Each structure stands twice: as structure tokens, then as C-alpha cells.
Amino acid sequence: MPGRALLFDVGNTRLKWGLCDGGQLVRTGSIRRETLSSSGFSSLTSKLPHSVDVVLASNVAGAAFATRFAGVIGIHCGVDMRFAHSAREAFGVVNAYRQARRLGVDRWVAMIGARAASTGALCVVDAGTAMTIDAIDRHGRHLGGQITPGLGMMGRALASDTSDIGGVATTLRDPGQGMGLFANTTRRAVQVGALTAVCGAIERAVRAMRDEGLRPTIVLTGGDASRILKQLDGKILHCPHLVLQGLAFMLRNKE
């Protein structure tokens, strides 16, 4: 693996970056995409190192953004940016999609990172703008996945498609268990309802895997991971930088 690698996880809402030195993430950071739009790429590049050997990105922000971003980083670092792509089979993971490239690259790289972090069957959950859930058996075979609205998207959908709820922030203190999941204000009812919905989706996915004789570890990442972590039962591995870890693993084990 190259000595110093700059890694990027470009999502729908946020761009995360990490500096990998000797195979290990030594620095990380993030910036909202809307900040890049309003303040320009200098708001990001001012925080990035210049001297790196390779730049690798997972990008779900579209081709136009990728072209602009690659140009900016190429000038800043003097190194051409490479982009990860979903494959039929690589790094110990077998893609379930008939058209392998149609699987979101962020999900693909997250599965590679999860497989590197934990053995056995896995339920890989990325709780971001949208929440994705992917099942992997102990042999690394991807069994398929789910995509559902994330916490913020659920709240915005209720605000826009109903007349009386209005805007509701998704920030929520841990509601606890039992009757703490029932609210006495509309604002909190939406927050707890969204939280219950995403946790219920994860729990049902895990139950379906268990019904097939699998005993999955939940590998949890994404911006809302810390909000739902305490609500889940079972074996859970919280990996805030899972996509970056997957990119680092890909570089260390280039096939």
C-alpha cells in the first residue's frame, strides 16, 4: 500500500475524508455538501494535506460533482483521483446484484469494510440521509439489501405532506425503552416514530437472517448511528468511518 493515501466518502449530505498512513487512518474530517456549494472547495482543501501518494474516493454525488471534485483535488495534491466501483466479486465479498455496477458504491465499500472488521454473518447498516441495510453470510456472499428513508427524511416527508405537523428537528435525546417510546407532544411523536421505524427495520432484517440460521453482527455506520445505537439489541459494532475503512482495506489488499 502507498505510504500516504487521501480517502473520500462523498455522500448525499456530507463529504467525509481520511488520511491513511501506513495502512491506518490517522486523521479524519467531514464537511456538509451545502457548505461546499456556498463557500467553495477551499473550505475543504484548506484542511487537507498536500503530500499524498494516492487519492481514492467513493462517490454517490453524481458524475458532474465527481469531475469538479477530481479537478480540485488533483490540483491540490498533484495526484489524480481514483474512484472505487462496485464489482461482481472482490476483497472477500460477492455482490448479489445481477448488474454489479448498479449497487451503490458506498454500500459496496461499506460491506468490504465490515467484512474486514468482523467475521461471520453481517448486517451492515448505514444510517444516513437514506438508511441502507445489507446482509452478508459468513462466506462473504451478499444476500441483498434494503433502502429506506433515514430519520431526517422521514421528518421532512411528514412536514411537507401533512398540514398540521410542520417542521420537526430530528435531534432526539435517548428516549429509553418501554413507555418512553410514546410521546406527549407532536414534535416528539415524530422524532420517536422515526427512530422506532428505522430501528424496527433493522431488527426485522436481523430476525429474517436469524430465521435462515444466520447469527449476524450488526455493523452500524452513518450520521444517525449514534442516535439509534442504544435502541438496538444483539451484537453491534459501531464503525463511524466504515466507508473510509473499506477504502483503506482496498488499498492495502489491492487485487
| Total structural domains within the chain | 2
pLDDT score recorded for residue 189:
84
What percent of the chain shows pLDDT beyond 90? 73
pLDDT score recorded for residue 212:
96
CA dihedral 242, 246, 248, 250 (to 10 degrees): 180
Q: Model-level pTM? A: 0.92
Q: Could you tell me the sign of the dihedral formed by the alpha carbons of 28, 31, 36, 40, in that order?
A: negative
Structural domain for 203, as ranges:
120-151+174-243
234 and 186, same domain (yes or no) = yes
For the question of residue 164 being annotated catalytic, the response is no
Catalytic residue, chosen from 9, 106, 126, 224, is: 106
pLDDT score recorded for residue 143:
98
238 and 125, same domain (yes or no) = yes
74 and 126, same domain (yes or no) = no
Q: Is residue 42 part of a domain?
A: yes
79 and 130, same domain (yes or no) = no
Q: Is residue 232 part of a domain?
A: yes
Mean pLDDT for the stretch of residues 124-132? 95
pLDDT score recorded for residue 82:
97
213 and 137, same domain (yes or no) = yes
Q: How confident is the model at residue 155 (pLDDT cuts 50, 70, 90)?
A: confident
157-169 CB burial, b ≥16 within 10 A, e <16: ebeeeeeeeeebe
61 and 124, same domain (yes or no) = no
Look up the CATH number of the domain holding residue 124. Answer: 3.30.420.40
Q: How confident is the model at residue 111 (pLDDT cuts 50, 70, 90)?
A: very high
Q: Is residue 27 part of a domain?
A: yes
> What is the pLDDT of the chain when averaged over all its residues?
91
